[in-house]
């Protein structure tokens, strides 16, 4: 069987690895000269998003036979709103280095893939249809393939400002900020590379590149952050609802297949999982939309959360963070296997009902 994979990112490489386990060696096309995102940052793999899967890293090792070494375990999350700071502790997930350096998530995946990657090649699925039995489109944030297929609808359109900053950090701690004045319904977060270096990212929905500069400066100002910035970049990022995810011999995975959760804009786990599910669909000849339904349902609950989050104001965030910081609630959320994603939209709804303040 001849399979083409467009994109040697997280989902494309995961798909290639899964196909190889079944004796299929795909041809992988990558438009960059090497594997990995152009900018350095640290991505979090949170334990709590993919319930009933409680330990995504163990799930990846056991089910997908991929061995991934995180930068560090994530042992605390500090949540800051305008009037509250709360920190939760526990085995909350893992931190992964992203980018083109050694040890990044993408490079770890590439080292476990034997198939040939054809670099510096911008591939198009329609031009590969005659030569291949299946084409897996794993182009990440490149929306051109779904625009051409007409199977995607935007859920969350954001501009992201990322930076590498120097300072004094806890290597096992993620810090989050929410304040609708500078991030609308988005958020900002800091994830450390080490004790001295961290990535600081601001995500602002429904804005422009020009406005982003204003929001970034306001964020640093209001939060009194004066880190030394050594690298800075920006990118527009969209979470789409994609259906169908398979059209004939073309299968859409990862961000471009709609496997990016629009709640936080996270998608490392679902990129790996969707790549593996695409391989399963190809090997078993089952429709991809059926094989990936459970994963798609998890993303759907995060679409419902996003719809609620878009209407929250700073008082709602204060209440939410107070709730999440409560030791009993945090034990229930982080210490049990409850599928809290399925209930979060309802909880947000209840908060808004009791505190019906006008959204800003």
Ligand X SMILES: Cc1cc2nc3c(=O)[nH]c(=O)nc-3n(C[C@H](O)[C@H](O)[C@H](O)COP(=O)(O)OP(=O)(O)OC[C@H]3O[C@@H](n4cnc5c(N)ncnc54)[C@H](O)[C@@H]3O)c2cc1C
In the complex, which residues of this chain contact ligand X (CB under 6 A)? 6-12, 29-32, 41, 43-45, 122-123, 138-142, 160, 162, 201, 235, 237, 254-256, 260, 266-268, 271
Minimum distance of ligand X from residue 136's CB (angstroms)? 10
Give the nearer residue to ligand X in terms of CB position, either 294 or 355.
Answer: 294
Identity of the residue, 99 or 352, whose beta carbon is nearer to ligand X in the bound complex: 99
CB of 278 to ligand X, least distance (A): 11
Closest distance to ligand X from the beta carbon of 17 (Å): 13
Closer residue to ligand X (CB): 7 or 171: 7
**Alpha carbon of residue 160 to chain centroid:** 13
Query: Are 173 and 77 a contacting pair, CB within 8 Å?
Result: yes
Task: Mention every residue, 6+ apart, whose C-beta is less than 8 A from residue 92.
Answer: 46, 47, 48, 74, 75, 76, 77, 174, 334
* Residue 82 vs 124, nearer CB to ligand X: 124
Alpha-helical segments (H) within the chain: 10-21, 56-64, 105-110, 125-128, 144-149, 180-183, 209-222, 268-284, 288-291, 293-309, 314-325, 327-335, 341-354
Structure tokens at 51: 């319930």
Beta bridge partners of 202: 161, 188
Q: Using CB atoms, what's the residue nearest to ligand X? A: 9
| Least separation in angstroms between CB 107 and ligand X | 12
Pick between residue 45 and residue 66 the one whose CB is nearest to ligand X.
45
Find the shortest distance in angstroms from Cβ 356 to ligand X. Answer: 33
Of 107 and 255, CB closest to ligand X: 255
Q: Dmax over Cα atoms in the chain, in whole Å?
A: 59
Minimum Å gap between C-beta 244 and ligand X is: 17
Q: How far apart are CA 158 and CA 185, in angstroms?
A: 10
């Amino acid at each position: 069987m001849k399979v083409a994979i467009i994109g040697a990112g997280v989902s494309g490489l995961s798909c290639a690895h899964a196909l190889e386990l079944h004796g299929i060696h795909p041809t992988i096309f990558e438009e960059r000269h090497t594997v990995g995102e152009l900018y350095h940052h640290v991505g979090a793999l949170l334990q709590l998003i993919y319930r009933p899967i409680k330990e995504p890293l163990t799930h990846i090792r056991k089910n997908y036979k991929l061995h991934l070494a995180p930068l560090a375990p994530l042992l605390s999350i500090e949540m800051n709103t305008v009037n509250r700071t709360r920190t939760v502790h526990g085995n909350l997930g893992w931190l992964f280095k992203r980018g083109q350096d050694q040890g990044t998530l993408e490079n770890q995946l590439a080292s476990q893939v034997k198939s040939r990657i054809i670099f510096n090649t911008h591939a198009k699925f329609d031009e590969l249809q005659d030569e291949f039995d299946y084409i897996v489109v794993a182009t990440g944030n490149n929306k051109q393939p779904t625009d051409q297929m007409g199977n995607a609808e935007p859920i969350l359109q954001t501009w992201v400002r990322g930076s590498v900053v120097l300072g004094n950090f806890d290597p096992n701690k993620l810090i989050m900020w929410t304040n609708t004045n500078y991030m609308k319904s988005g958020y900002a977060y800091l994830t450390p590379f080490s004790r001295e270096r961290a990535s600081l990212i601001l995500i602002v929905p429904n804005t422009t590149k020009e406005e982003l500069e204003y929001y970034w400066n306001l964020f640093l100002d209001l939060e009194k952050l004066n880190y030394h910035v050594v690298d800075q970049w920006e990118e527009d990022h969209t979470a789409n609802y994609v259906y169908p995810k398979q059209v004939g011999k073309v299968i859409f995975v990862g961000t471009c297949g709609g496997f990016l959760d629009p709640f936080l804009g996270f998608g490392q786990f679902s990129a790996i999982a969707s790549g593996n599910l695409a391989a399963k669909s190809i090997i078993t000849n089952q429709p991809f939309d059926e094989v990936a339904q459970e994963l798609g349902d998890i993303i759907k609950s995060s679409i419902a959360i996003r719809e609620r989050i878009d209407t929250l104001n700073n008082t709602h965030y204060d209440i939410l963070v107070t709730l999440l910081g409560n030791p009993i609630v945090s034990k229930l959320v982080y210490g049990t296997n409850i599928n809290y994603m399925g209930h979060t939209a309802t909880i947000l709804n209840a908060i808004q009902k009791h505190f019906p303040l006008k959204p800003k």
